[in-house]
Amino acid sequence: MSNNTAPTHMPAGTAPATERRRVHARLRHLLGSLVAGLVLVGAPVAASASYADREETRSFIAEVAERHAFDPAELERALAQARHEPAVIRLITPPTRKGVRSWRDYRARFLDDIRIDGGMAFWYQYAGELERAATEFGVPAEVIVAIIGVETIYGRNTGNFETLSALATLAFDYPPRADLFRRELEALFLLAREQGRDPASYSGSFAGALGYPQFLPSSVRAYAVDFDGNGRIDFDNDPIDAIGSVANYLRVHGWQPGEPVAERARLAPDTDGAPLIAAGIEPRLDPAHLSQRGVTTLDGRPAAAVATLVDLETPGEDTEYWLGYRNFYVITRYNRSSFYAMSVFELAEALRLRRVVDGIRAERR
Ligand SMILES: [Ca+2]
């Protein structure tokens, strides 16, 4: 996740398989309750055992119940199960000393053998569904695979946090993002009602992102599709629903079928890239204007379309410049960071090339 903007979801850390994850989450819940009970005396308000008793929680419950015709007692019962998660606050809080951003380090986390080999395995396993998604939504299979790979290593790392507790913690004990996370907590209650599930039964990232594609609850409600047609959306166990949902998310956010994502840019000597970069992540610079300012493709052609100038910095090395087109911008709607979108694009390209090579080898046999 980038720190500068609201995440839709974020790549999770290392985690075991789904079932083990659930057991772990349950154990942690029990342990957490025990610990909370032991330290309750003298604990700060934020660490109170139940969110249902808090003043601002009561007004939240009243509002949400009113807006969506919930029984307030039902929301109270749900929130009584949520507990403060100090780790969530620790993970969401930006470091006090601004770290040095390094494209090389960031890239190395996602362009590795685990994600490339895993991506090929995932692609072969779900080739039919990926092709169907590409046809239906216009988003190439490799881009869908790459997003699921960057997010969760193809479902291996979907996160160990109980979503209800994580979102309650962020909604009520993290003022900088309280609005966003109260909306997500509200969306979780709606999602649980729609899916006939207990709101406490969801688990995922520390920031409330769910399943293979790491959608926040509001994104699940808005963009998820039942792509295997079994009548329900299941992000924990169903990569096929994730495939369709990622493709639908990108399509709704403006994916242009057949159009380029990004290409390397060349800056003529003495070009001042700063004002072009400052124009923002949304592509607004037309090719002629860019050429005039000294920005072209590597072989000196003008940009292929209206673009944004992307700078990928690594301390002590030359900055990489890229032309980001509309589809690059669409990937940043998934996670608002140039580093993120470029990692997805590069992983997608690596997978696509590997697939081409596999195809040639198969023909020769
Ligand atoms: Ca389904």
Distance 7 CA to ligand 1 centre (A): 24
Helix pair 239-252, 127-137: axis angle to 10 deg: 20
Whether residues 313 and 164 fall in one domain:
no
214 close to 152: Cβ distance less than 8 angstroms: yes
Whether residues 87 and 195 fall in one domain:
yes
Residue 237 confidence (pLDDT): 85
Q: Give the model's confidence band at 25: pLDDT under 50 very low, under 70 low, under 90 confident, else very high.
A: low
| Choice between 69 and 8, residue whose per-residue pLDDT is larger | 69
Whether 3 has a pLDDT exceeding 70, the answer reads no
Report the percent of the chain where pLDDT is more than 90. Answer: 81
Whether residues 84 and 165 fall in one domain:
yes
pLDDT tens per residue across span 40-99 = 443 444 445 579 888 889 999 999 999 999 999 999 999 999 999 999 999 999 888 777
Whether residues 200 and 73 fall in one domain:
yes
Q: What are the Cα distances from residue 201, in Å, to 81, 119, 236?
A: 11, 29, 11
Distance 247 CA to ligand 1 centre (A): 15
Whether residues 215 and 295 fall in one domain:
no
CATH code for the domain of 50: 1.10.8.350
Q: Give the model's confidence band at 39: pLDDT under 50 very low, under 70 low, under 90 confident, else very high.
A: very low
Q: Does any domain span residue 241?
A: no
Q: Does any domain span residue 70?
A: yes
Whether residues 172 and 58 fall in one domain:
yes
- Over residues 16-33, the mean pLDDT reads 51
Residue 40, domain extent: 18-92+160-224
pLDDT tens per residue across span 283-340 = 999 999 999 999 999 999 999 999 999 999 999 999 999 999 999 999 999 999 999 9
Distance 224 CA to ligand 1 centre (A): 10
Catalytic residue chosen out of the listed positions 76, 151, 162, 184: 151
Whether residues 219 and 268 fall in one domain:
no
Whether residues 31 and 81 fall in one domain:
yes
Whether residues 218 and 266 fall in one domain:
no
Q: Give the model's confidence band at 31: pLDDT under 50 very low, under 70 low, under 90 confident, else very high.
A: low
- Over residues 165-185, the mean pLDDT reads 97
Residue 22 confidence (pLDDT): 54
Residue 37 confidence (pLDDT): 44
Q: Which helix (H) or strand (E) holds 338?
A: helix 338-364
Q: Does any domain span residue 295?
A: yes
Whether 6 has a pLDDT exceeding 90, the answer reads no
Instruction: Determine the longest span between alpha carbons in the chain, in angstroms.
Output: 73
Taking the C-alpha atoms of residue 141 and residue 247, their distance in angstroms, rounded to an integer, is: 9
Q: Does any domain span residue 145?
A: no
Radius of gyration of the chain (CA): 22
Taking the C-alpha atoms of residue 295 and residue 310, their distance in angstroms, rounded to an integer, is: 11
Eight-class DSSP state of 308 = E
8 close to 335: Cβ distance less than 8 angstroms: yes
Distance 264 CA to ligand 1 centre (A): 39
Q: Does any domain span residue 353?
A: no
- Over residues 13-19, the mean pLDDT reads 43
Distance 147 CA to ligand 1 centre (A): 19
Domain count, the chain: 2
Q: Give the model's confidence band at 236: pLDDT under 50 very low, under 70 low, under 90 confident, else very high.
A: confident
Last residue of a domain, one of 196, 224, 252: 224
Report the percent of the chain where pLDDT is more than 70. Answer: 87
Q: Does any domain span residue 132?
A: no
Exposed, middle or buried by CB within 10 Å (0-12, 13-18, 19+), for 47? middle
Residue 49 confidence (pLDDT): 56
Whether 18 has a pLDDT exceeding 90, the answer reads no
Whether residues 81 and 164 fall in one domain:
yes
Residue 323 confidence (pLDDT): 98
Whether residues 22 and 80 fall in one domain:
yes
Q: Give the model's confidence band at 24: pLDDT under 50 very low, under 70 low, under 90 confident, else very high.
A: low
- Mean predicted lDDT score pLDDT of the chain: 89
If DSSP codes are grouped into helix, strand and coil, which group holds residue 262?
strand
Whether residues 76 and 213 fall in one domain:
yes
- Lowest-pLDDT choice from 25-39, 140-154, 323-337: 25-39
- Lowest-pLDDT choice from 99-113, 217-231, 293-307, 337-351: 99-113
Residue 182 confidence (pLDDT): 98
Distance 200 CA to ligand 1 centre (A): 20
Helices (H) and strands (E) in the chain, counts: 16, 6
Q: Is 151 a catalytic residue?
A: yes
Residue 100 confidence (pLDDT): 81
